[in-house]
Amino acid sequence: MPAIPEELTYLLRTNVVAHVSLTQADGSLVTHVMWVDYDGEHILTSSPTSSYKSRALRERPNVAVSVVDPADPWRRLSISGRVTEIRNDEGLAFINTLSQRYVGAPYPRPAPREIFVVTPDRVRAFMGRR
């Protein structure tokens, strides 16, 4: 599994939103702005259990994730991989943690959610202007 450079992991562990691209049923691509986390090996994201994104990720698990440093757009990550695990977000603990990080408050929608575990197949890291 390709490694994400330690000096860029903050892009996945802070309040920088990610662009997550997935394949639709007709084969076209769609990109969603999503909250993400990084456990040191996988990118984690979440969606309501009955959402279009949840269905799409089950049927077509290939994804691409892109994050850009707002202070230096040349400092960024581009990751492609697969959803290799889907977990229930028990008690909405994961989404509440992300919500605190991104907006400073608990997540406002109580619907059941799932956590999508993305295993990177390819990592492109751009370290900024040189």
Q: What is the mean pLDDT of residues 25-37?
A: 96
Alpha-carbon Rg for the chain in angstroms: 14
Mean pLDDT of the chain: 95
Q: What token pair was written down for 98?
A: 């992300």
- Looking up tokens 């662009």 gives 19
pLDDT digits (tens, 9 = 90+) for 68-126: 999 999 999 999 999 999 999 999 999 999 999 999 999 998 899 999 999 999 999 99
With H, G, I as helix, E, B as strand and everything else as coil, classify residue 55: helix
What local confidence, expressed as pLDDT, does residue 37 receive? 98
Polymer length of the chain:
130
